[in-house]
Amino acid sequence: MTAAICPLLCKRGTGGDFSYAKNSATAEIPPAPPFLKGGTHGRLRTLARRMLLFFAVAFLSACSGEPKTGPVEIKWDRDGCTHCGMALSDRHFAAQVRGGAKHQAFKFDDIGCVVEWLKKQPWANDAGTEIWVMDYRSEKWVDARRARYIGGKTSPMAYGFAAVAIDPGSIDFEELKRRVLANKNRQGTPP
């Protein structure tokens, strides 16, 4: 190597006298800087790493929380229904409610479970309570209060109703609630 290519690669002698080796085999490795050797500088480096790790974890945990509004992601075949405990597996009938003091999300496998569960919640009719249901055909989340419902479907808990955008003979959410609460045989047939 020449001095023009690599002027500070090797140190010969002592006292900071730099000379340039023509053969890399005879080059001496310069001593490590103090902060890499340990001691006070090593402890500072360790402290800096720990602080960086702490702030990285804090930042990532703050960013990974669930949204404050709307439906949350469902882990199919792992999440359980808040009302009956059954695993959520059929995307056509899933529903979610967001409400309560902490405005948290509750997951359900059937819109009938939502109706039955909400009748026991003191905050069920609050303006901030959100109810979401999966559209039977498009498998997209829709506002349950605006959706229309058709009966006669084989739903997970046999309430028999599925949400749709619009369908002849469909019913609104209030009628759905009335039928679910009045119907003892389920399967979405009229009382």
Same domain, 112 and 58: no
The 10s digit of each residue's pLDDT in 93-114 is: 999 999 999 999 999 999 999 9
Q: Which residue has the tokens 């500070």?
A: 8
Cβ atoms of 68 and 103 closer than 8 Å: yes
Q: What is the 3-state secondary structure (H, E, C) of 112-173?
A: HHHHHHHCCCCCCCCCCCEEEEEECCCCCEEECCCCEEECCCCCCCCCCCEEECCCCCCECH
- Tokens standing for residue 44: 């500072």
Whole-model pTM? 0.63
Cβ atoms of 171 and 100 closer than 8 Å: no
Our count of domains for the chain comes to 2
| Domain span holding position 167 | 95-182
Nearest of 85, 123, 120 to residue 103 by alpha carbon? 123
Same domain, 122 and 53: no
- Tokens standing for residue 169: 């003979």
- Mean pLDDT per 10-residue segment, the chain (191 residues): 49 50 62 61 72 68 66 95 95 96 94 96 94 96 96 93 91 94 64 42
pLDDT value at residue 1: 47
